[in-house]
């Protein structure tokens, strides 16, 4: 059987998905990146290697470390996460018109019509509408993030919390705590604040029509899902593999790419036997002082980036 692998290396998690020719999900893996993308990629590949006995016919990478992952694995396609998420969403829920995606550090909205992306938005300088905002507040309240969503659903009278900025939200939340509001109501209020911030910030000016799907790590949170449904007045679908959608999209894109070029550049799972590391230096050729990064496979430089001019382009 032919199978395609997608690898999504984000700031918070590294995800791998394997699909068959009919784009059904065969395997998935969710790992924490922990600031060490190279290790996470190797660890992920080793884990998934033991689980599969299919021939991998194509590989795609996405996420903020997509280039790095692409070089190490030998990717057939290296695509940005917006495209990957959109492709996954329309594969999993055909006819989807809006994708809400909230990850650890970024959040985006993707508007599709007839299976084609027609508009998208992505948070720029503000993190108040992302998972890290929830993480922060959860630790402040001393509640494990996994329980957050369930508690929000138990609220009777959610309190209003200023959601424009995570710093303001925090002080507002503390004031409400000190007045004696119970934890469930505060958590529900926080969820609403996040949703409002997301819709005002990322969703600004976008036409949100159903079917709406909600994906990314934060989609595990039922409280947020409910807050979205209330705010939008629409049903919000959380797909089964909500946490690895980027990887699924990337696998679908890999299938397309391989069909087009007729072969794969996948280096095989043995690629994990090599030692990969990066080193950087500051180029002193001009006053830009570019931080140039070398990626090594054992002692050989296999990729290099970070410079503004072509001086360091050739490997």
Residues that bind another protein (CB under 8 A): 64, 79-83, 114, 116-120, 122, 124-125, 204-207, 286-289, 310
Chain-centroid distance, C-alpha 269: 23
C-beta closer to another protein: residue 14 or 64? 64
How many of the other CB atoms lie within 10 Å of CB of 114? 8
Nearer to another protein by Cβ, of 67 and 177: the residue is: 67
Least distance to another protein from the beta carbon of 139, Å? 26
φ/ψ of residue 22, rounded to 5:
-90, 15
C-alpha closest to that of 120 among 152, 173, 83: 83
For 19, other C-beta atoms within 10 Å of its C-beta total 26
Residue 93 Cβ, how far from another protein at the closest point, in Å?
18
Give the shortest CB-5-to-another protein separation in angstroms.
21
Smallest gap, in angstroms, from Cβ of residue 31 to another protein? 21
Closer to another protein at the Cβ: 118 or 174? 118
Whole-angstrom Cα distance, residue 219 to residue 233?
Answer: 18
* Least distance CB 232 / another protein (angstroms): 18
We find the least distance from the C-beta atom of residue 272 to another protein, in angstroms, to be: 25
Return the structure tokens found at 63: 């996420």
Q: Strands 98-102, 77-78: parallel, antiparallel or unpaired by DSSP?
A: unpaired
DSSP state of 270: G
How near is the Cβ of 124 to another protein at its closest, in Å? Answer: 6
Residue 170: phi, psi to the nearest 5? -65, -45
Nearer to another protein, 187 or 213 (CB): 213
**Alpha carbon 68 to chain centroid distance?**
16
CA-to-CA separations, 146 to 110, 134, 153, 220, 259, in angstroms, rounded: 26, 11, 13, 8, 40
Measured from the CB atom, the residue of 192 and 255 that comes closer to another protein is: 255
Nearer to another protein, 95 or 150 (CB): 95
Pairing of strands 212-215, 98-102: parallel
The nearer residue to another protein, 32 or 308, going by C-beta atoms, is 308
**Which CB atom, from 79 or from 225, has the smaller least distance to another protein?**
79
- Indicate the DSSP class of residue 273: G
Note every long-range contact of 274-279, with CB atoms under 8 Å and residues 24 or more positions apart, other chains counting. Answer: 274/298, 276/38, 276/42, 276/72, 277/38, 278/38, 278/68
Give min distance, CB of 42 to another protein, in A: 21
């Amino acid at each position: 059987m032919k199978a395609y692998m997608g690898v999504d290396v984000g700031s918070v998690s590294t995800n791998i998905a394997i699909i068959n020719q009919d784009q059904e999900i065969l395997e998935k893996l969710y790992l924490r990146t922990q600031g060490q993308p190279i290790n996470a990629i190797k660890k992920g590949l080793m884990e998934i290697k033991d689980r599969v006995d299919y021939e991998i016919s194509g590989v795609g990478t996405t996420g903020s470390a997509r280039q790095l992952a692409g070089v190490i694995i030998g990717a057939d396609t290296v695509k940005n996460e917006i495209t990957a998420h959109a492709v996954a969403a329309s594969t999993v829920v055909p006819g989807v018109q809006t994708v809400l995606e909230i990850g650890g550090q970024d959040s985006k909205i993707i508007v599709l019509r007839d299976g084609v992306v027609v508009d998208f938005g992505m948070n720029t300088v503000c993190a108040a509408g992302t998972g890290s905002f929830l993480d922060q507040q959860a630790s402040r309240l001393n509640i494990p993030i996994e329980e957050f969503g369930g508690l929000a659903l138990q609220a009777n009278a959610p309190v209003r919390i200023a959601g424009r900025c995570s710093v303001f939200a925090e002080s507002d939340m503390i004031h409400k705590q000190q007045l004696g509001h119970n934890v469930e109501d505060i958590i529900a209020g926080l969820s609403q604040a996040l949703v409002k911030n997301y819709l005002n910030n990322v969703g600004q000016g976008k036409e949100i029509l159903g079917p709406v799907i909600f994906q990314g790590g934060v989609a595990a949170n039922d409280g947020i899902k409910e807050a979205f449904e209330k705010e939008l007045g629409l049903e919000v679908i959380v797909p089964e593999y909500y946490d690895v959608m980027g990887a699924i999209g990337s696998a679908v894109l890999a299938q397309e790419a391989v069909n087009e070029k007729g072969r794969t550049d996948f280096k095989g799972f043995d690629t994990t036997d090599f030692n990969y590391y990066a080193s950087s230096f500051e180029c002193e050729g001009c006053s830009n002082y570019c931080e140039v990064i070398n990626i090594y496979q054992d002692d050989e430089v296999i990729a290099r980036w970070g410079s503004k001019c072509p001086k360091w382009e050739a490997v």
